[in-house]
Amino acid sequence: MKESNKQYASIFEMDGIPKFSQAIPLAIQHLVAMIVGCVTPAIIVANVAQLSPGDRVILIQAALVVSALSTLLQLFPIGSKEGFHLGSALPVIMGISFAYVPSMQAIAADYGVAAILGAQMVGGVVAFLVGFGVTRIRKFFPPLITGTVVFTIGLSLYPTAINYMAGGVANKDVEGLLRYGSWQNWLVALITLAVVTTLNHFGKGIFKLASILIGLIVGYIVALSFGMINFANVGTAAIFQVPQPLHFGVVFEPSSCVAIGLLFAINSVQAIGDLTATTTGSIDREPTNKELRGGIMGYGFTNLIGALLGGLPTATYSQNVGIVITTKVVNRCILGMTAVILLAAGLVPKFSALLTTIPQCVLGGATVSVFASIAMTGIRLITSEKMTFRNTSIVGLAVALGMGISQSPASLQTFPAWTTTIFGRSPVVVATIVAIFLNIVLPKDQASKN
């Protein structure tokens, strides 16, 4: 009996295969923490781009598959362990990122999904280069700058959440009646939000971890009672289908490439934070430069490949980093099992089609707390540095210009159209540029110099 136990690795060791009975519940724990965040950006982009029901399914399917493949590369890198490799070999989960949603919404409305995917390929190259020179570039993105960007992302997503809670600006029910702002939408959204908030604060274990998923399920059931759900597309969807490369095409629209490329640089630095948090919180050490370089370059590589498959931009998932730190379970096979389940789900279009039936009011009620959490994460990063007059000026001016210009896009109407796409449709780009510029040119505080 003792000898048979030796064939299994400990769940607290990164390498080796643990017992299946131990691994599967831990893998599912990671899955429920990230599945909603993985598919919601695809649903939002599909709505803005006004994709057909079939294309919505394909976009969600690609999101699941690309997230799974990106995670597997990070866990089990390609290349020499001692030399060059793509992937960090650290216990992290990758998924479609909300950080890109504000810019993707603007691009989808103006140029379509193909322009997002083209810009993503450019972003993948940017991330690859950031990874190559990670030790030199990192100094330009202290917590004050990354926090300002993350805070702006959270703020910019609030209108999306509120519009969804009200039912979606152009949403129609199964009878074809416009229902934006109806009391039914608000009731369903608030019930969903109440369940998520209650479980977040009073739930324990899996109930707290899966609060958003459970909230979605409860909201879905309530929406079903109001006749808001149509299963027609589920019935016509295939049972099994491999993602279709270049289904949406790829368009390299310059202003979109600039906007998304800049975000990739920021998210590459954010990934450094997640990788560092993972190692310091779970295995009590800093990540090596080789791990960071491999992780960021792998992030760039998978986004290049993901764009060809129709998957939207990915990033490290902080909620799963939190699980690793809390449980100290770092076995890569467990997280790999999560990725395999995600991959299997992505190969079943009926599952993706089922996700497209989630009413926008349910999504809004479930995700408004996520967007709030993103903004608060930004504030925590900002306040990790001393709030001197210099630092408050950087944050205040960056957020003010970013949010102000994006809420008044007509202020750029005399400029070329590309300036509106880069600077006028998403506050994140302006906030990022202003924050980095001010951090370079404003005189350092005396305490910082010392």
340-390 pLDDT per residue, tens: 999 998 898 888 888 878 888 888 888 788 788 778 878 888 988 898 999
Helix (H) or strand (E) holding 249: none
Per-position b or e across 56-85, b if 16+ CB within 10 A of its CB: bbbbbbbbbbbbbbbbbbbbebeeeeeeeb
The full DSSP string for 333-346 is HHHHHHHHHHHHHH
- Distance between CA 370 and CA 363 in Å, rounded? 11
Q: What DSSP character marks residue 428? A: H
Domain assignment present for residue 46? The answer is yes
Domain assignment present for residue 66? The answer is yes
Q: What DSSP character marks residue 423? A: I
Q: What is the pLDDT of residue 448?
A: 53
Share of the chain above pLDDT 90, in %: 32
Secondary structure tally for the chain: helices H, strands E: 21, 4
Q: What is the pLDDT of residue 6?
A: 57
- Of residues 107 and 207, the one with the higher pLDDT is 107
Asked if 343 and 65 count as a contact pair (C-beta separation under 8 A), the reply is: yes
Q: What DSSP character marks residue 12? A: T
SS3 state at 188: helix
Positions of E strands within 210-305: none
Q: What is the pLDDT of residue 177?
A: 45
Helix (H) or strand (E) holding 79: strand 78-79
- Beta-bridge partners for 315: 95
Domain assignment present for residue 35? The answer is yes
Residue type, position 149, single letter:
V
Domain assignment present for residue 306? The answer is yes
Q: What is the pLDDT of residue 447?
A: 56
SS3 state at 133: coil
Phi, psi angle pair for 185, to nearest 5°? -60, -45
Give the Å distances, CA to CA, from 197 to 138, 193, 211, 372, 440.
Answer: 36, 6, 8, 12, 40
Banded model confidence at residue 408, pLDDT cuts 50, 70, 90: confident
Average pLDDT over residues 220-239: 83
Phi, psi angle pair for 178, to nearest 5°? -65, 130
- Distance between CA 355 and CA 160 in Å, rounded? 18
Q: What is the pLDDT of residue 81?
A: 66
Domain assignment present for residue 77? The answer is yes
Q: What is the pLDDT of residue 1?
A: 40
- Alpha carbon 309 to its chain centroid, in Å, reads 17
Quick check: 178 pLDDT over 50?
Answer: no
- Alpha carbon 112 to its chain centroid, in Å, reads 20
Quick check: 239 pLDDT over 90?
Answer: no
Q: What is the pLDDT of residue 427?
A: 82
Asked if 75 and 339 count as a contact pair (C-beta separation under 8 A), the reply is: yes
- Distance between CA 24 and CA 337 in Å, rounded? 7
Domain assignment present for residue 40? The answer is yes
Domain assignment present for residue 57? The answer is yes
Q: Is 440 exposed, middle or buried (0-12, 13-18, 19+ CB in 10 A)?
A: exposed
Q: What is the pLDDT of residue 173?
A: 53
Asked if 44 and 160 count as a contact pair (C-beta separation under 8 A), the reply is: yes
Question: 């590459």: which residue's tokens?
Answer: 268
Quick check: 175 pLDDT over 60?
Answer: no
Report pLDDT digits (tens) over 204-215: 877 876 787 888
Banded model confidence at residue 169, pLDDT cuts 50, 70, 90: low
Q: What is the pLDDT of residue 450?
A: 46
- Which range marks the domain in which residue 49 is found? 11-375
Asked if 321 and 277 count as a contact pair (C-beta separation under 8 A), the reply is: yes
Closest CA to 375 of 159, 156, 160, 189: 156
Number of domains making up the chain: 1
Here the tokens at position 369 are 């707390």
Closest CA to 420 of 103, 48, 122: 103
Report pLDDT digits (tens) over 113-137: 999 999 999 999 999 999 888 777 7
Report pLDDT digits (tens) over 298-332: 999 999 999 999 999 998 887 788 778 877 888 99
Here the tokens at position 168 are 């979606």
Per-position b or e across 189-203, b if 16+ CB within 10 A of its CB: bebbbebbeebbeeb
Average pLDDT over residues 201-228: 84
Mean confidence (pLDDT) of the chain: 85
- Beta-bridge partners for 314: 96
Average pLDDT over residues 66-86: 87
Domain assignment present for residue 37? The answer is yes
